[in-house]
Copies of this chain bind each other. A is one copy, B any other.
Amino acid sequence: MVTIASVAEIASLAGDPARASMLLELMDGRALTSGELARAANVAPQTASGHLAKLAKAGLVTIRAQGRHRYHRLASARIAEMLESLMKVAAESRGASALRTGPRDANLRAARTCYDHIAGRLGVALADSLVERGHVVLDDESATLTNSGAAFFARLGLNAPDETPLTCRPCLDWSERRSHLAGRLGAALCRHCLDQGWVRRSRDSRALSVTPSGMAAFDKLFGVVRGTDSRPWRLKA
């Protein structure tokens, strides 16, 4: 059974500011070293190391040693979903919003990864495109791929690694407050975009940058083009 103690233990692991920083930093699915995470959490390396050991012991993160580095990543998509739902509650708990600024945030808002799929303006614009074309039915709590959508993605040559069906789910995002596409379909689409070189991961953050070939592809396939500073990606009218 799921004991109360075990639930409390998981929650309290995420309940420490330093550990929460690290977990959120890992939310994009990258593998980061202890040093990077220590800097992100603003604590000494030894402290970070201790935290990471606890997180690993509880199964929240996995560690892969490589050379003199140890790479840490979230152990599963479920962990990311849990953090996501904590963020949702945190967002509506306080007076919320308190909109933010700064160039780094602007890049994040434009396009970023959310564990394994694309979020931010770009993620929302892509989802809007799929909805408008009838490929996906989307609302706050459910998302469904239509027949035309299945055909569309098959034409794209985008398949699940194994033969599991490409289901999807909505993901309500903090920056856009709109649902975008997550689940296996969202992950496959994100992977495809990276594989094709349409987007590139930024070096030290969750932000994604769109390459020239990506701009062409997004325009041609999704009707998604560059917009204004406040809406960096939008659906062509």
Residues of A16-46 contacting chain B, CB below 8 A: 16-17, 19-21, 24
CB distance from A142 to the nearest CB of B (A): 4
A139 on the B face (CB < 8 A):
yes
Chain B residues within 8 Å of A7, by CB:
14, 20, 24, 83, 86-87, 90
A8 on the B face (CB < 8 A):
yes
A74-82, A123-131, A209-217, A224-232 - interface stretch = A74-82
Chain B residues within 8 Å of A8, by CB:
14-17, 19-20
Chain B residues within 8 Å of A141, by CB:
167-169, 183-184
Copies in the complex: 2
Contact of A169 among B5, B85, B92, B169 (CB under 8 A): B169
Q: Which of A5, A7, A141 has the most CB of B within 10 A?
A: A7
CB distance from A210 to the nearest CB of B (A): 23
Chain B residues within 8 Å of A10, by CB:
15, 86, 89-90, 93
CA distance A86 to B168 in the complex (A): 21
Interface size on A, residues (CB 8 A): 59
In the complex, the answer to whether A17 meets B1 with C-beta atoms within 8 Å is no
In the complex, the answer to whether A17 meets B2 with C-beta atoms within 8 Å is no
CA distance A4 to B100 in the complex (A): 13
CB distance from A229 to the nearest CB of B (A): 18
CA distance A73 to B162 in the complex (A): 43
In the complex, the answer to whether A78 meets B97 with C-beta atoms within 8 Å is no
CB distance from A48 to the nearest CB of B (A): 14
Chain B residues within 8 Å of A85, by CB:
78, 81-82, 85
CB distance from A16 to the nearest CB of B (A): 6
CB distance from A180 to the nearest CB of B (A): 15
Q: Which chain A residues have a beta carbon within 8 Å of chain B's beta carbons?
A: 1-17, 19-21, 24, 58-60, 76, 78-79, 81-83, 85-94, 97-100, 105, 139-144, 165, 167-169, 174-175, 183-184
Known: A8-B20, A78-B85, A142-B168. 12 other contacts (CB 8 A): A1-B175, A7-B24, A7-B87, A7-B90, A11-B11, A11-B14, A13-B15, A78-B88, A82-B86, A85-B85, A142-B167, A142-B169
